[in-house]
Copies of this chain bind each other. A is one copy, B any other.
Amino acid sequence: MRAATLLNGSITVDELPIPVPGPMQVLVKTRRCAICASDTHFVTSADVMIENSKRFGGPYANIDLTKPIAMGHEFVAEIVEYGPQTQQQHPVGTRVTAIPGMVVDDQLSIVGYDSSYPGGFAEYMLLFEPLMLAVPDEVSDDLATLVEPLAVGLEHARAGHPTVDDTVLVIGAGAIGLGVIAGLKKAGVERIIAADLDAGRRDLAVQMGATFGVDPRETSPYGPQKAFDGKQVDLVYECVGRRGMLNQIIPGLGVGARIVMGGYSLEPEELLVPPAQDRRLTIYFASGEELQDMALALASIADGSIDVRSWVGRTIGLEEVAAAIPSINAPSSPIRTLVDPAR
């Protein structure tokens, strides 16, 4: 099968064997796959991610960088063949998406970040049947690729235990921050500030349900907010993932505030403990979607209650993946660029 694969830091289009489904696995044919910001991390810093997983535990410890890896974990695909010990709830040909996890012998791997489990930048993938969901007809292939990133945002949102009484700041209006905003709206939160450097992203945030956007270089989101009768931010979602964010956030907060760390950063944060103690802060670390988040994301896209059509950028073929990935994180980029391996 054809695949855009990463080896020695560069991406080329290669031939890989079509994988054979083992127990609880399903062979699927990729229809569309979105490029995630994590893919750029992996291209530049897979060695650091592996080292950190070895040191601290984590899903990347067993990745073999000497073999080509087809990335891509935000996908829609159709069922081709079931492996042994499968429930086979959905007929062959059904469109599916999935949490990109693969569990073999109690060992978790990530589809798209493992040479044994090619992701959606390949024509075929293996999925772990218990983590797979059927995509209803009313959800297009393009929108189906957004189920996974939206689900991450929904999980992050609930990790902060938001209530209608909270005044919330979401820092970073990429896919995750936008998904958090959608999740906060679902939870009934009424006061949401979105901070992003890019005006276009701030507009998207308001479309998703933020009350207003701020450019943090010009307007501090902390302190009493006129728009909210003087209420102050008491719940912050960090969706940027850059060293130094915590030290920017903490001084702006009052006693009892909460922070959700959603951004993925390979550089350690410098955390000065006493200012966090003085404020009796709580920091929640949000990880990634669970099945309930995938189901909610899929249902919300299907019924239109979360509108992610504005996230979709252009669709490219496998040959264009290498060139596209470095620009994915530019603020002017669309939220998601899609890959069609059949193109």
Binding site for B on A (CB under 8 A): 49, 52, 55-59, 159, 241, 246-247, 250-251, 261, 263-266, 268-288
Contacts and interface: CB of A to CB of B under 8 A. Distances in A.
Nearest to A252: B57
13 contacts: A49-B274, A56-B251, A56-B274, A56-B275, A57-B278, A59-B278, A241-B273, A266-B274, A269-B273, A276-B285, A282-B284, A282-B285, A283-B283
Given A57-B275, A250-B56, A271-B271, A283 B282 contact: yes
Contacts of A52: 272, 274-275
Nearest to A60: B274
B273 A285 contact: yes
Contact of A280 (B247, B268, B286): B286
A232 to B, nearest CB: 13
B277 A281 contact: no
Contact of A273 (B261, B273, B280): B261
Contacts of A280: 159, 284-287
A276 B261 contact: yes
Nearest to A279: B285
Contacts of A269: 270-273
A283 B263 CA distance: 16
Given A55-B251, A56-B251, A251-B56, A278 B287 contact: yes
Contacts of A57: 251, 275, 278
A263 B274 CA distance: 9
A273 B277 contact: no
Q: Which of A261, A273, A285 counts the most chain B CB atoms within 10 A?
A: A273
A227 to B, nearest CB: 23
Contacts of A284: 280-282
A268 B270 contact: yes
Contacts of A55: 251
A56 B265 CA distance: 23
A10 B162 CA distance: 49
A286 B277 contact: yes
